[in-house]
Structure 1
Amino acid sequence: MSVPVAAPPPLADSPRRWWALAALTLSVLIIALDGTVITVALPTLSGELGADSAQLQWINGGYLLALSVAMLPVGLLGDRYGHKRVLVGGITLFGLASLAGTQADSPGQLIAVRTVLGLAAAMIMPVSMAVLPRVFGAAELPKAIGVWTAATAVGMPVGPLVGGWLLNHFWWGSVFLFNVPVVVLALAASVWLLPSDRTRQRTEPAPFDTVGTVLSALGITALVYGTILVPDDGWGSPKVLGGVVGGAALLAVFGWWQRRYAHPLVDLRLFADPRFRWGTLIAVFVNFALMGIMFVVPQYLQEVLGHDAFGTGLRILPLIGGLMAAATLGETLVPRLGARVVVAAGLLVFAAGTLAGAATGSGDGYSYAALWLTLTGFGFGLAVVPATSLVMASLPAERSGRGTSLLETVQQVGGVLGVAGLGSLLSAGYLARLSTGGLHGQDAAAARDSVSGAGAVAARLGDPGLLDSAHRAFVHGMSLALLVCAAIALAAAVLAALLLPGKAADAAASEAVSDAQAPAAREVAISAADNGQSLA
């Protein structure tokens, strides 16, 4: 009896694999853009649609909740019915929901549209990552993951940039219409270039884990909802505490159920592999810190340094440039030094970048910010790309969707907690240093509410002292947040150095990636034969 030999994907030596990566990158880029583009449109929506503050919160929060809740069941559906099918369905739904958004004429309709967009995003994010090992060989997979990660990162600062430009030139619905041509391009490229799902086994599927789905949905909803309320209500609010504690309790019950049920929504056995366990934990730590940075830094660039939304988006690009440079360098370093050394070194560089940012003074200009943003992005890329590659290498082909969904879900929740936690620390640091002597009533409340409010009051009263105090106070709060990011990165670096597999295990991981790609190779070959195309 012959043993089948693992074959690399048929696209391994074809330039078409990069076009396939472009399709996947476009799909996640538009998701990242849509996640933040709405932020600059909220004041316009308030005026045009008459949305109150609670409705505005749900226009933004509905997307985030749907995205967080739906990723776990979507991963299971992708493994059962085909990653390409789910991905194409998600891209199509995203485009249709975007078109519907341009026609919304009430806050309720817009909340519904944003919720559907979040659901579509949940269909795209984890499944597009699960497709990567079916297109790229083990040697090029880290570079592909780096490009994919950069697409998700670049969309966050560029979203407000795009949204601001569109609102300056067109009506508010243009922030939704902008998605449509990109969706059409991503959809056509995905249908044409990505491996087919035709050869998946057509055996009777196992029962769907309805109880696990409900428990995970309720737990994540409560946790994310409670966290969303933190900026307005504070950590001591009964709503916040009830959401966070209740969500954590429900997720604990969910974990208990997953261990007991024969066909669980989440395969907890994945955590038995140290590559998955520690790679996921490190990725969550770094994502927590990065999301906090992405919340703090744009405010610094806009409110303290005085750049508009477009200029702010441009000035965050050094972070992305550092990430891309690290992804390229990591591709050569990991085979030589091993993921343990490279990830730990990347986390140390990340910590150095955030420590440099914490030393920012209120009088420092953008050149200093560009320096530490580049360093931070470089450290992030050097750490997260090999860590993600380790996670991908640990996933069996038949469970890759569930694995990437679990990774993306915990990263998403970690990011939400990062924004809430570090945002609260920023606010506390700001209030601790702000001087509002001489201000009363609404002026004092506006100044204490935010640095932008203090700037507006200072401009109206002609009070440069208040503006200087607000800038100094904000920089102090930002420094506290960045110090916490540095501490998290240092703790993750220690974990990486002690617990990640060494160089010998990395070689075994590469072999595992090739083994996992063998079924994908057969799928693509059969698909090519069916379509009369040669993908080699």
Structure 2
Amino acid sequence: MSSPPDGSVQTHYDNPRRWWALGALAMASLVLGFDTTILNVALPTLAADLGATTTEQQWIIDSFLIVFAATMLPAGMLGDRYGRRRLLVIGLMALLAGSLFGTLVDSAEMLIVARTVMGLGAALVAPLALSVVPTLFGPADRPKAIAVLAAALAAGLPLGPLLGGWLLDNFWWGSVFLINVPMAAIGIVACLLLVPESKDLAAPKVDALSTVLSVGGLASLVFGIIEGSSRGWDDLLVIGFLVGSVILLTALVLRERRQALPMFDLALLRNPGFAWNAVSTIMATLILTGLLFVVPQYLQAVRGESAMGTGVRLMPMMGGLLVAARACNLLVKAIGSRTTIVIGLLFLSLAGFIGSTTDVDSSYALAATWLTITGLGTGLTTIPAMDAALAHLPPGRSGVGSGLLMTGRQVGSAIGVALLGSVLSQVYQDNVSTDGLPGAAAEVVGESVVAAHLVAAEVGGTAGAGLAESANVAFMDAMSATLLFCAIGALVIALLVAWLMPSQPPGQEGTADTPDGDGAEDARREDTTGGASESSLTPADSRPTE
């Protein structure tokens, strides 16, 4: 066990079990990745077995996403104050309970409740798994540890549809939830035995009003974005939630600025080192999750792949992520984190431009190419950006800082699905031909390419074949527009990062420099508390510290 020079935060850099502890954290992160995407291939089955309407299907996915995004900031702070391992275990228990409940329900409404509980557990696990890393690994090993954690979280996203497809082909729909139970249980035991407890006694107390403002503001923002893509951005309900989110989040900022030791350290966002690394991570996450919403529709509806086949054909993205995870540390040491991040964003842009050339008759080889580049770009962006963002956090603020970072990623996921889904839907509706169809059928065709194929099957004959072809062409036009949107966005962020992000010389990346300005003031203020942070390592043969 060791302490930094200022003695404010105890660390466990010499703990021989730290790599095993990292494995436990990686397993917890992998479960989060599964839960984010595993239901994408299960929704048709849920609609048939539970009678879930289109709106209910949307909320089965979105209830997890909204709670995940809206409660992550308080979760990071609670871990700082009451013990990161303790809250991490509670989060895994919530994931286990929600997953088990999900296998037993018999209605869409109860399934939405189960997903809400799982979202709360995920909000605890995501930031706390990341915030434990700086207490276990020093600057030399931290990039490798971050790479393992980020790769586990990212790998779960494309693995979700693959695993979900296999389970649906061999078992009943509840198996997509049941798979979480043993993994969460193993994660709980592993965290109790391997992960040392760490907390910051100088962390601020829970401010109930700030918590309500943050949860309400973020939930309203995510709700407005999600509903805006389906209801329309001029819908009064959407406008009301978006305006409400601005009011609540503005009130949060004003309240926190008056606090001597704020619960949500928004001053961290004024540190360009932390802020631009966070922006890079959010952009990569937005593109990845948005594409995981779009591409399965292309593979299943246009190419006619099965649920299992769709998961298999998403694997090149995972391959790119794994290659990036192995290459990141070497690249950062050789050329620095900023240059590595810029390269990753440029790869994402390249993937979007190549993907936009895909049409109905393109072979899968073309899709495999740009999916691989997408995975490579995501890894080269997120892994060094997450590590560099953590390195810019002042001592004792890892929980709050990682909470901000992971909240940004999850809100980015929501925006990615809502924004790219909106672009996809609008271009598809503008291009699909519904000539000769009655009003009700034309409305169904305009909902999605999957619905269009169902109508085409009912129509049959030459007319049905023509409708299916029109829907496929319209969808490919929409997917091309969506991928171009991703390409341009990634290119713009790459240029801004190259211009505005501060850099460190190669070989000095990952050092936990104290930020200038407000961040430095926060660090000095924490020093004046007398180093009231603690971290206790539970011996292997003793009970966990309470």
TM-score (norm 2): 0.88
Q: 1:27 is paired with a residue of what secondary structure?
A: helix
Using a 3 Å threshold, how does the CA distance of structure 1 residues 167 and 346 change in structure 2: closer, same or farther? Answer: closer
Counterpart Cα distance in 2 of 1:139 and 1:241: 48
Shift of 1:366: 0.9
Q: For the Cα contact (< 8 Å) 1:224–1:413, is it kept in 2? A: yes
Counterpart Cα distance in 1 of 2:483 and 2:407: 24
The match for 2:235 is 237
Q: For the Cα contact (< 8 Å) 1:351–1:485, is it kept in 2? A: yes
Counterpart Cα distance in 2 of 1:202 and 1:504: 34
The match for 2:491 is 490
Q: For the Cα contact (< 8 Å) 2:204–2:262, is it kept in 1? A: no
Shift of 1:523: 4.1
Q: For the Cα contact (< 8 Å) 1:147–1:324, is it kept in 2? A: no
The match for 1:176 is 177
Counterpart Cα distance in 1 of 2:14 and 2:497: 30
- What CA deviation, in whole Å up to 9, does each residue of 1:35-88 have, x standing for no partner? 333344444444544544444443332222211121111111111111111111
The match for 2:191 is 190
The match for 2:362 is 364
Using a 3 Å threshold, how does the CA distance of structure 1 residues 109 and 473 change in structure 2: closer, same or farther? Answer: closer
Counterpart Cα distance in 1 of 2:15 and 2:87: 26
Counterpart Cα distance in 2 of 1:48 and 1:527: 47
Shift of 1:379: 1.5
Q: 2:338 is paired with a residue of what secondary structure?
A: helix
**1:325 partner amino acid:** V
1:350 aligns with 2:348: yes
Counterpart Cα distance in 2 of 1:109 and 1:3: 48
Counterpart Cα distance in 2 of 1:397 and 1:530: 30
Task: Give structure 1 stretches of 5+ with no counterpart.
Answer: none
Counterpart Cα distance in 1 of 2:487 and 2:149: 25
**1:393 partner amino acid:** A
Counterpart Cα distance in 2 of 1:359 and 1:258: 48
1:256 aligns with 2:254: yes
Counterpart Cα distance in 1 of 2:6 and 2:509: 16
Using a 3 Å threshold, how does the CA distance of structure 1 residues 69 and 311 change in structure 2: closer, same or farther? Answer: same
Using a 3 Å threshold, how does the CA distance of structure 1 residues 42 and 374 change in structure 2: closer, same or farther? Answer: closer
Range that drifts further, 109-118 or 491-500 = 109-118
Give the counterpart of 1:427 among 422, 425, 428: 425
Counterpart Cα distance in 2 of 1:294 and 1:487: 18
The match for 2:63 is 62
Counterparts in 2 of 1:106-121, with a 5 A limit? 106-121=107-122
Counterpart Cα distance in 2 of 1:530 and 1:512: 36
Shift of 1:409: 1.0
Using a 3 Å threshold, how does the CA distance of structure 1 residues 3 and 18 change in structure 2: closer, same or farther? Answer: closer
Shift of 1:412: 1.2
Shift of 1:255: 1.5
Counterpart Cα distance in 2 of 1:218 and 1:530: 43
- What CA deviation, in whole Å up to 9, does each residue of 1:383-426 have, x standing for no partner? 22111111010123411111111111122112211211111111
Using a 3 Å threshold, how does the CA distance of structure 1 residues 96 and 471 change in structure 2: closer, same or farther? Answer: same
Shift of 1:134: 2.3
Q: 1:171 is paired with a residue of what secondary structure?
A: coil
Counterpart Cα distance in 2 of 1:306 and 1:46: 20
The match for 1:468 is 469
Q: For the Cα contact (< 8 Å) 1:305–1:365, is it kept in 2? A: no
**RMSD between aligned alpha carbons?**
2.9
Q: For the Cα contact (< 8 Å) 1:154–1:317, is it kept in 2? A: no
Counterpart Cα distance in 2 of 1:166 and 1:126: 29
The match for 2:32 is 31
Task: Give structure 2 stretches of 5+ with no counterpart.
Answer: 515-522, 524-530
Using a 3 Å threshold, how does the CA distance of structure 1 residues 532 and 209 change in structure 2: closer, same or farther? Answer: closer
The match for 2:88 is 87
Q: For the Cα contact (< 8 Å) 1:75–1:404, is it kept in 2? A: yes
1:267 aligns with 2:265: yes
**1:253 partner amino acid:** A
Q: For the Cα contact (< 8 Å) 1:8–1:137, is it kept in 2? A: no
Using a 3 Å threshold, how does the CA distance of structure 1 residues 371 and 478 change in structure 2: closer, same or farther? Answer: same
Using a 3 Å threshold, how does the CA distance of structure 1 residues 201 and 502 change in structure 2: closer, same or farther? Answer: closer
Q: For the Cα contact (< 8 Å) 2:205–2:263, is it kept in 1? A: no
Shift of 1:530: 7.4
- What CA deviation, in whole Å up to 9, does each residue of 1:460-501 have, x standing for no partner? 323322222211111111111111111111111111111222
Give the counterpart of 1:527 among 538, 543, 546: 538
Q: For the Cα contact (< 8 Å) 1:150–1:323, is it kept in 2? A: yes
TM-score (norm 1): 0.90
Shift of 1:142: 2.3
Q: 1:229 is paired with a residue of what secondary structure?
A: helix
Range that drifts further, 319-328 or 488-497 = 319-328
**1:218 partner amino acid:** G
Using a 3 Å threshold, how does the CA distance of structure 1 residues 117 and 128 change in structure 2: closer, same or farther? Answer: same
**1:222 partner amino acid:** S
Shift of 1:180: 0.9
Counterpart Cα distance in 2 of 1:393 and 1:145: 11
The match for 2:139 is 138
The match for 2:389 is 391
1:165 aligns with 2:137: no
Counterpart Cα distance in 1 of 2:126 and 2:99: 17
